[in-house]
Each structure stands twice: as structure tokens, then as C-alpha cells.
Amino acid sequence: MKNKNLKFVLSVICFIFLLLIIDFVINYIGESLLVRLPDYASGQIAKDNFRLNRIKTDIIIVGSSRGVHHYNANQLCDSINNYIKKDYTLYNASLDGKFLNSNLLAVESILNRHTPKLLILETQDSELYSYDYADVSFSSMHYYSNNIVKKYIDNIGWKEKIKNSSSLFRYNQKILSIIGAFSRSEENKDNGYLPLFGIMKIEQNQNKSTNISLKINSYTLNNLYRVLDILKKKNIPIVIATSPKYKPTTSNKELAYICSELNIPYIDLCDQYIFNSHAEYFQDSIHLNYNGAQIYTDMFFEQLKPYLKQLKH
């Protein structure tokens, strides 16, 4: 009986030891691949890696899919440089499905190693109310290599902290995606901007408000205030913006209040007649297509002009 118990204990110890070895190997392979990813490799994992650890352009845009599809980076960069007579670089670091917390994480990570001339944050009120942390967890591959990622994940709660201590969890189904990114490297001619070319059908134009909690997520609010405070201390200007939707049914009163309270420029172009009367500028009710993005980028630049004085010096 004692021999059986001993064998069982030894088997458990060996199994745990094997898991630890596998976990270590996966972490080593994963981090080695991420370090070697080309700056402009294709795919969300590669772009997230770039914005968290490498981006060093003068002007940076962060946001969700509305950010990546609405801000024509080259068009906006040319307009800014022509206006202030400079030769600044600009990159659209927005990512599909990555909302306010993920973008604040990216901004804080950028500020930890780089001092941009200007940050543009595309967001909306609904992102303040969300309690979904999947977009933050998307960056979990960097849990041990990026202390900002670790802080954001640990602050979600003890369960996330325990789960992300395992490389098996963090790299689950992602290693192959990382390897695949090496074969999809491409010239970064659009500087992070991804145009859409569809045209919204009339029956798709229902921009219904979603059933979200009316209580602002304190985790999100704390992250927002902390990042804005870091920017203020570093004297880095930020502009918060909300781009157009087709006939929106909600407003952005909370964002407007926060920006007013902290004296942060807020450009709210969510509800505009030119877009509400032209469904052909949209791919769907919340995403502009290429033609719509060109018009919006010019409109946004005109609203941005008063806040570019600091960049002239």
C-alpha cells in the first residue's frame, strides 16, 4: 500500500515537473518569436507587439476598429506637416476589437520608453461602461516581458493573475499565429491605416444602442485618469476624439465631462449631418469606408488645428 502511494506521489511530482518544463519551453519559444517579429508584420498579434514594444513615431493614433478604419494616417500626417511646417512621422496604432483599456495599456507602454509629440485617442462613452477584459488579455503574451501589461492584467483580479502565470494559458493557440505572421510581412505604406471599401446597405443602417451597464467601470476610469496624469507630467499633448456613426442614438456626455474636467481637448464628430445624410460613406453603421474616411480625416484635421500650436515649436 505504501509503495502504491509513493508511486502515485512520484507520478504527480513528475507530471507537475513535466508541465513546468513544457510551460518554460513554450514561454521561451513565444518570447523568442515575438522579439524577432518584423516591425510591420501582418496581423493583430504583430501590430500589438509593435505598438507595445517598438513604435517610436512622433504622432500616434490609438483606438479600436473605428480608429484603424477612420484615420487615414498618410493623409492626416501630410496635413499636419504642411500646417506646422515640420516633417513629423505618424502611425495609426489602432486595432480591431481593442477598446479603451487595451488602448490605454498601449499608450502607457509607449510612454514607458518613448516620448511622442502628440497622441490621438479614438474612443466613445460605451467603452467606459464595458466590463469585458478580453482586449486586455489579448496582450497577455507580454505578461512577463512588459511590466505595463502585467500591471493591467493583475489589476483585473487575482484569477487573471493566476491564469496568466502559465505560458500554456497565455500562448494557447497563438504560437502558430505568431509563426504565420513571419510569412505575411508587408510594406507599411499606409502606416497602420486599413481602408474599407464596402458600401452600407439601407437595411444595415440601424445603429441600435447596445444593452450595456450604465455604471462606469472603475478599472477603466482609474486607467484613464492615470494615463492622462502621466501625459500631463510628461507634457505630452493628447486629443481624445469620437469619429462618425450613421445616425447615432447615443451621445458621449461622460467623455465630454471628463475632458472638460481635466482640460483635455475632445473632438466629438460622432453625429454629423454630412455623414447622417450619406449612407454611401459607410461600410456599416459604425464604420466609415475609404471615401468616408477621407472626408472624416480632413474634417478631423480642421478641428485638430487649434491644438497643434505646441507642435510648431
For the ranges 89-103, 171-185, 281-295, which has the lowest average pLDDT? 171-185
Beta-sheet strands, E only, within the chain: 59-62, 90-92, 118-122, 238-242, 266-268, 282-284, 287-288
Return the amino acid letter for 81: N
Asked if 73 and 296 count as a contact pair (C-beta separation under 8 A), the reply is no
Which is higher by pLDDT, 122 or 188? 122
* Rounded Cα gap, residues 23 and 14, in angstroms: 14
Report how many helices (DSSP H) and strands (DSSP E) the chain contains, helices first: 15, 7
Highest mean pLDDT (candidates 4-13, 71-80, 159-168, 188-197):
71-80
Q: Is the pLDDT of residue 189 over 60?
A: yes
* Rounded Cα gap, residues 174 and 213, in angstroms: 31
Whole-model pTM: value is 0.92
Span between the terminal Cα atoms of the chain, in Å: 82
Domains of the chain (ranges; CATH) run 2-312 (3.40.50.1110)
Question: What confidence tens digit (pLDDT) does each residue in 47-99 have?
Answer: 999 999 999 999 999 999 999 999 999 999 999 999 999 999 999 999 999 99
Question: What confidence tens digit (pLDDT) does each residue in 95-106 have?
Answer: 999 999 999 999
For residue 310, the model assigns a pLDDT of 78
* Rounded Cα gap, residues 150 and 135, in angstroms: 14
